């Protein structure tokens, strides 16, 4: 079964990559989203947009080198190809400018994570008070108009609720997040936030980072935790809410899922637990439905 992964950090990982064309093909990937992550700890505010543009250029070069098919909308996804979509992680990248947001869209960015681990011009991160700023509301409204997916992973609970109010029946996503009721961590989503994403028609990409999954770091413990988070997300949000968002290359190797080449084993576990039809929704159909909104 082919799968879609809503988030990886291969564009900015300077070590040995988990996400390679060989591993993606061995794993059966249909579409990999590549995040242009701008680390605000290292780059001054005035240089963040330039860094994002540079990463967009790197993405284009990588796709040419690795023979990835670049897609900007649902209708461009090709079943026989290894498709790649460009995203941005950290809304501070646009430096409080809608014009810079629009420029990123013109460069092919089709999803943006609104916040990372610190407050920015758009809003508050997980674990902090506050939601969208006035500019953040303008930004999300413009993203809705453009057809760029708003990604609330890393965002505060209030930010998720604020985005839901703006989006109404337009899907938004949490590209790489898990369930707080299964394992408490500020980066994981509460049940209320899960429902709001589900009610919009959006999806939540299951994150493979062991620190968000379980205290049991063994391969068996991690596999059980991944299934437990998946089960809870479906219980709260319905079977249309769950997708995959590995966070490969942004996380250490998970002993259960070391890289994309291990995905077939996990897909088998999903099929065994939820059945083939629901597993296919998790792996691709739910994400494809949301991406159809990019047309």
The domain total for the chain is: 1
Segment holding 204, helix H or strand E? strand 204-206
Structural domain for 135, as ranges: 3-294
Classify residue 30 by burial, with Cβ atoms within 10 Å: 0-12, 13-18, 19+. buried
CA distance 95 to 73: 26
Q: Residue 58: is it exposed, middle or buried by C-beta count within 10 angstroms (0-12/13-18/19+)?
A: middle
pLDDT along the chain (295 residues), means of 10: 98 95 98 97 93 98 97 94 98 98 98 97 95 98 97 98 95 98 97 98 98 97 98 98 98 97 98 98 98 82
**Interval 82-105: pLDDT, tens:** 999 999 999 999 999 999 999 999
Which CATH number goes with the domain that contains 265? Answer: 3.20.20.140
What per-residue confidence (pLDDT) applies to 193? 98
Strands 204-206 and 149-151: unpaired
Q: What is the pLDDT of residue 169?
A: 86
- pLDDT score at 295: 72
Cα distances (angstroms) measured from residue 120 to each of 40, 42, 45, 143, 223: 10, 15, 10, 17, 35
């Amino acid at each position: 079964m082919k799968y879609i992964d809503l988030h990886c950090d291969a564009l900015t990982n300077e070590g040995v990559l988990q996400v390679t064309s060989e591993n993606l093909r061995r794993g059966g990937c249909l579409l990999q989203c590549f995040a242009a992550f701008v680390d605000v700890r290292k780059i001054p505010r005035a240089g963040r947009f330039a860094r994002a543009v540079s990463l967009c250029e790197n993405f284009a070069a990588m796709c040419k080198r690795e023979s990835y098919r670049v897609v900007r909308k649902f209708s461009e996804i090709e079943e026989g190809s290894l498709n790649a979509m460009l995203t941005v992680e950290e809304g501070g990248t646009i430096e409080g400018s809608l014009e810079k947001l629009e420029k990123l869209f013109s460069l092919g960015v089709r999803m943006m994570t609104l916040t990372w681990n610190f407050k920015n011009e758009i809003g508050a991160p997980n674990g902090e008070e506050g939601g969208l700023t006035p500019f953040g509301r303008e930004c999300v409204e413009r993203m809705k108009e453009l057809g760029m997916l708003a990604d609330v992973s890393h965002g505060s609970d209030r930010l998720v609720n604020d985005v839901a109010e703006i989006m109404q029946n337009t899907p938004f996503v949490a590209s790489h997040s898990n369930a707080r009721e299964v394992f408490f961590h500020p980066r994981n989503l509460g049940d209320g936030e899960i429902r709001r994403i589900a009610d919009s028609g959006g999806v939540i990409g299951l994150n493979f980072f062991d620190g968000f999954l379980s205290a049991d770091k063994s391969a068996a413990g991690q596999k059980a935790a991944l299934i437990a988070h998946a089960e809870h997300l479906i219980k709260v949000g319905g079977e249309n809410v769950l997708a995959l968002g590995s966070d490969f290359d942004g996380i250490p190797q998970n002993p259960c899922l070391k890289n994309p080449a291990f995905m077939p084993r996990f897909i088998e576990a999903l099929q065994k637990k939820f059945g083939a039809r629901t597993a296919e929704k998790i792996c691709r159909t739910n994400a494809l439905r949301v991406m159809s909104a990019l047309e």
